[in-house]
Amino acid sequence: MTAERPHVLLPEWTRQGVDVTQAIQYPVQRYLMSSDESDKESVIEGINNLDDGYGQVGGRWSGDEWLANKTPTQGTELCDIEELLFSLEKGFEIAGEASFADRIEQLIYNAFPGTCTPDMWAHQYDQQTNQVLVSVADRHWHGNTDSSNIYGFTPNFPCCLANMHSPWPRFVQTMWMATEDGGLVAATYGPCRLSAKVASGATVEIVEETSYPFSDRVRVTVHIERPATFPLYFRIPAWSVETDLTISGESYPRHASSGTFLQVERLWKSGDVVALNFNFKVRTEPRNNNAVAIAWGPLYFALRIGESFTSLPSIALGPNDTHTPTPPGCANWGITPTTDWNYALAIDRQNPQCDMTTRRISSMPFAQRGEMVKRPGSQEFAPWQEDVPMVLHVKARKVPQWGMAGANAAPVPASPVKTDSPATMVELIPYGCSRLRIAEFPTT
């Protein structure tokens, strides 16, 4: 019998969310000076402990100022996500740990867009995994105010306003990195283009064409001024079932397991094309109280809930503030549900069955049809006319006894839940496309 790893609960004075997400970078930085492998290993162990005590859907930890628990209505500050991304990006740069890059993708494609409006004009201070009402209300945060849950200009405190613009540019900046042997590594995936010098001094341009994270296929074209030999490393995500790689149409004989890197070293010629197929499958993830989360590739999925937006002209930012006017051109949004949200999924956890619909990716990939957004160049907010890139259709049953607890969804009923409601099909959309959501479900 294997002994369970003990859960370590941090003392309260060390549990400020932003401090923790910044601090996990320290041991990896120390490794640069110590060359002690235990410094790197301590970060992985620390992340596992934090997941055990505070883990939430999408790779984040609960931190509505202080780290809290795994309840899906506990909040996470936007700055926690931004600082965790930065720490993982620097950690990967030093340690080359594939799991760091996996979590970067989960955060940037789920938790970060989920706490901002898709036009980037508003953000939350605290997001929730199960978020069925966005309003100014008492949610028993650990030190944050009643406005922390709305999407606005500066809800609760202005630090997140300053931080919200850095994750996307920094993510693009670190998608590819140079390696010690004169090659390049694809750290994280998404459409991009880069120019770099490789081992022989030749300049190479890499063009990555993909709909990732809304696709499991990536196409990389190499343009180089003269043929040169150097390695390209491709990260194989932990959620890849079996990776197929071809070079200019020919199958590559070497394979790498999920959570590792595949090295391709050869004489590269201009026009060479590397095609990757990660073969993602829909999977379930066990959550607190025997609930379940649904994921595909780096994406987590949430129940599509009808959303009604209300503009809030002014909000109290803190206990000593009265009401701060919204700057011209900005908006504070309260959101109420217009459809039911209390469903249990009728699925096989080991082999979840669902139908997937894919659509064209719009200029606002994380926008949902009907959501209030401001188009570039527009002076007014208006409902978005296009829909999300992916939808999962899943069988579910309504759970009438699952209701509200104040301004929050009540705790997820223990599974398997009993309900006499008839089976129906519900739509699950990418977490980052949702402002109202259920992402931890009971099952029946």
Which residues contact residue 70 at a Cβ distance below 8 angstroms, ignoring those fewer than 6 apart?
Answer: 53, 54, 55, 56, 62, 287, 288
Domain enclosing residue 253, as ranges = 175-210+217-277
The CATH code of the domain that includes 234 is 2.60.40
User: Considering 230, 257, 277, which residue would you say is the last residue of a domain?
Assistant: 277
pLDDT at 404 over 80: yes
pLDDT for the residue 317: 59
131 and 183 belong to one structural domain: no
300 and 160 belong to one structural domain: yes
391 and 341 belong to one structural domain: yes
Which residues contact residue 190 at a Cβ distance below 8 angstroms, ignoring those fewer than 6 apart?
Answer: 171, 172, 175, 208, 210, 212, 213
pLDDT for the residue 292: 98
159 and 65 belong to one structural domain: yes
222 and 309 belong to one structural domain: no
Cα angle, residue 131 at apex, residues 130 and 133 outer, rounded to 5°: 150
The total of structural domains in the chain comes to 2
329 and 351 belong to one structural domain: yes
What's the chain's average pLDDT? Answer: 93
What whole-number distance in Å separates Cα of residue 311 and Cα of residue 240?
42
What whole-number distance in Å separates Cα of residue 156 and Cα of residue 147?
6
356 and 416 belong to one structural domain: yes
pLDDT at 429 over 50: yes
144 and 221 belong to one structural domain: no
361 domain-assigned: yes
Q: How far is CA 20 from CA 16, 50, 54, 60, 416, in A?
A: 6, 10, 12, 12, 35
Q: What is the pTM of this model?
A: 0.94
Please state the rounded mean pLDDT for residues 271-282. Answer: 97
9 domain-assigned: no
153 and 246 belong to one structural domain: no
pLDDT class of 320 with cuts at 50, 70, 90: low
256 and 156 belong to one structural domain: no
149 domain-assigned: yes
The string of DSSP letters for 210-223 reads E-TTS-SEEEEEEE
Give residue-wise pLDDT tens across range 277-293: 999 999 999 999 999 99
pLDDT for the residue 327: 82
User: Considering 259, 277, 295, which residue would you say is the last residue of a domain?
Assistant: 277
299 and 225 belong to one structural domain: no
What percentage of the chain reaches a pLDDT higher than 90?
88
pLDDT at 187 over 90: yes
Give residue-wise pLDDT tens across range 192-241: 999 999 988 999 999 999 999 999 999 999 999 999 999 999 999 999 99
Give residue-wise pLDDT tens across range 2-21: 344 444 555 555 688 999 99
Of 221, 227, 430, 444, nearest to 342 by C-alpha is 444
User: Considering 277, 293, 311, which residue would you say is the last residue of a domain?
Assistant: 277
What whole-number distance in Å separates Cα of residue 437 and Cα of residue 370?
15
Q: How far is CA 146 from CA 149, 221, 305, in A?
A: 7, 50, 23
Give residue-wise pLDDT tens across range 65-124: 999 999 999 999 999 999 999 999 999 999 999 999 999 999 999 999 999 999 999 999
115 domain-assigned: yes
Give residue-wise pLDDT tens across range 136-175: 999 989 889 999 999 999 999 889 999 999 999 999 999 9
Residues 47/415, Cβ–Cβ less than 8 Å: no
Q: How far is CA 431 from CA 21, 305, 308, 436, in A?
A: 22, 12, 18, 9
244 and 350 belong to one structural domain: no
101 domain-assigned: yes
